[in-house]
Chain A
Amino acid sequence: MAAEIRLHVFTGTDASTDGGSAASFSFLSIDSAADDQSARVSNPISIPSSGCAYSYEKWISACVSVAPDNNVSNFQVWGSPPGQAFPAGTCWLVGTAPYGSGSTPTDTSSSIATSSLADATSGAKYTWDSASYAAAGSMTRYLVMQLQVEASASPGDWGPCDLNYSFDEV
């Protein structure tokens, strides 16, 4: 049977509150799994007059909701297709952490999400988790993400930038 993988968003103390299977996600100025337009409008990240501002970290894990025949592995992520650059003055940062060892999401500069997703492409992906998982209910490492906003950014809708991911199944 083909494996089924769902993406879950975690919030709260030690990123321990599972928001369930996510259909999408948003960078917000609050620690929330909300992903709708009204949440984004009500909780924007303010453009700083100097330096950088940050969204709350977004903690995501891939959940094996239906077990594979053998295992799933090689989880990788990359950003929007080449040519679809992120809006100027913003940087989508990523990092990983072991599942179950989360930290409370912060809206200061993340100590985990420190790599730019823009540097990861379909030809040079960012490694999310290289371990293999066989059982239903297994969770991958957290993918920790944060939106960095510089003073040069323009206000308004950041747009539907894509997080692409892949995993292998045998």
Chain B
Amino acid sequence: MPGWLRKRRPSPPVPAALVFDREGGGLAVFPDGPGWLEVARPLLESAPRAGLRVPGRPVVWLVGPPFRFFYRTVGRISSAGHVQERFACLTNGRVTLWASEDGTISVHSGEPR
């Protein structure tokens, strides 16, 4: 069967703001930099639903609730030393947002592993 295959690109880590959509029960992610446009463009028209005042900017919706929020610390220890990094994690079970301490956010599919 003929078809068209496209390599799925991972989401780049981009600075972003999170806004709750109280009416729709969702969460909007506004990247400040480039990226996610393929995902975001079809959703742009939905932005006013959240009362957002920045039309034309990319937005990604994380549909919920329920949401689950927690921090995850990832550590590494070896003969070379011991380091830790802390992330804020928000998930609806299907999509997970990870925010590092420097404010960058990345998106992964599925539950946090």
Residues of A whose CB lies within 8 Å of any CB of B are 2-3, 5, 7, 22-26, 35, 37, 40, 122-125, 160-170
Contacts and interface: CB of A to CB of B under 8 A. Distances in A.
B72 A160 contact: no
A160 B78 contact: yes
Contacts, number: 63
Contacts of A35: 79
B80 A24 contact: yes
Interface in B69-84: 69-82, 84
Interface in B56-113: 69-82, 84, 86, 89, 113
Majority secondary structure, A binding face: loop
B77 A162 contact: yes
Nearest to B68: A170
Contacts of B74: 164-166
Given A7-B82, A24-B82, A168 B71 contact: yes
Contacts of B81: 23-24
Contact of A160 (B70, B73, B80): B80
A169 B72 CA distance: 6
A86 to B, nearest CB: 12
Contacts of A169: 70-73
